[in-house]
Amino acid sequence: MKDTSCNLEIIELFLKSSLPGDRHRQKVIGRVTAKLLTAGYGLGEALSLFFWELADLEPPVSHEEQLFFRALYRTFHTICGVQIDNGETALEILKIPGEKLDLAQKDLLKEVKLAYWKQFNELTRESPNLLVNTRKMIIAKKAFDFLRTHLQAGRF
């Protein structure tokens, strides 16, 4: 088993997102998801165990719930592997042109937020896109966090 302590916050974040279905169903699926993600299984094994653990659930696990698990799995296993080390890289990821660097700190922060949310909305338009674009979403979020932190601290 690998150390997954840096990833626990992402589990909590996604489990608070609304899964389709009632609260009890969400709680059961969330508990199984958290258990499997922290165990360090590969995707194939984790998905098989996901279905096995939820075999008695009525109605059976839906396609949306399966996509949610896969997206969460990819997110969970990607989040610590992505590092943004400098502002230029972060700006490039968020597709913010270099001339925006001349803006006041407050205005640049607004541009960063707008660029992040525009990219996020484009990547998450439909449920299948969530699965396909998980890595891009994480990279954009890391870039956004890097820029926001450095701009707010006046270190950019």
Mean pLDDT score across all residues of the chain: 83
- Please tell me the distance from the alpha carbon of residue 142 to that of residue 148, in angstroms, as a whole number: 10
CB hemisphere CA count around 83 (13 angstroms): 2
pLDDT higher at 30 or 113:
113
For 114-127, the pLDDT digits (tens) are: 999 999 988 888 76
Token output for 127: 């449920």
Please name which of 32, 134, 125, 15 lies closest in space to residue 77, comparing C-alpha atoms: 134
Phi-psi region of 17 (alpha: psi -120 to 50; beta: other; left: phi over 0): beta
Token output for 109: 């922060």
CA dihedral 24, 28, 124, 2 (to 10 degrees): 160
For 130-154, the pLDDT digits (tens) are: 667 878 888 999 999 999 999 988 8
